[in-house]
Amino acid sequence: GAVVSQHPSWVICKSGTSVKIECRSLDFQATTMFWYRQFPKQSLMLMATSNEGSKATYEQGVEKDKFLINHASLTLSTLTVTSAHPEDSSFYICSAPDWQGANQPQHFGDGTRLSIL
């Protein structure tokens, strides 16, 4: 089945640094990918929709300049958390719909645990 790979799985860094998270579709092309954020014991909250070759679409309340999204190819989307602060610590997950068939469900990566000290 479709596989979505996310890297790194865990990152710890100092406040003020920028962190880049990669999301790859391994055996299918993804013109659209989604980025979610999940706090402990909470559900997934959609942050933005990443579109190959065009600007990302951000959900209300998500800072575009804080969370930079780039979707440079059909298999790779990146999320950069700029000037990260402790409140940005969270579990970030990407997903992509499988285009091997119409109206296919989303497949998720294993997430990136971000800890800002």
Partner 1 sequence: QKEVEQDPGPLSVPEGAIVSLNCTYSNSAFQYFMWYRQYSRKGPELLMYTYSSGNKEDGRFTAQVDKSSKYISLFIRDSQPSDSATYLCAMRWGGGSNYKLTFGKGTLLTVNP
Residues 6+ apart with CB under 8 A from 109: 4, 5, 6, 23, 93, 94, 95
Instruction: Provide, rounded to whole angstroms, the least separation between the CB of residue 26 and partner 1.
Output: 14
Question: Token pair for residue 75?
Answer: 């298999």
**22 and 37 in contact (C-beta within 8 Å)?**
no
Binding interface with partner 1 (CB under 8 A)? 4, 6, 31-32, 34, 41-44, 46, 49, 51, 91, 93, 95, 97, 99, 103, 105-111, 113
**108 and 91 in contact (C-beta within 8 Å)?**
no
- CB nearer to partner 1: pick between 74 and 82: 74
**2 and 27 in contact (C-beta within 8 Å)?**
yes
Instruction: Provide, rounded to whole angstroms, the least separation between the CB of residue 16 and partner 1.
Output: 26
- CB nearer to partner 1: pick between 10 and 85: 10
Instruction: Provide, rounded to whole angstroms, the least separation between the CB of residue 101 and partner 1.
Output: 11
- CB nearer to partner 1: pick between 19 and 109: 109
- CB nearer to partner 1: pick between 5 and 82: 5
Instruction: Provide, rounded to whole angstroms, the least separation between the CB of residue 12 and partner 1.
Output: 14
**5 and 23 in contact (C-beta within 8 Å)?**
yes
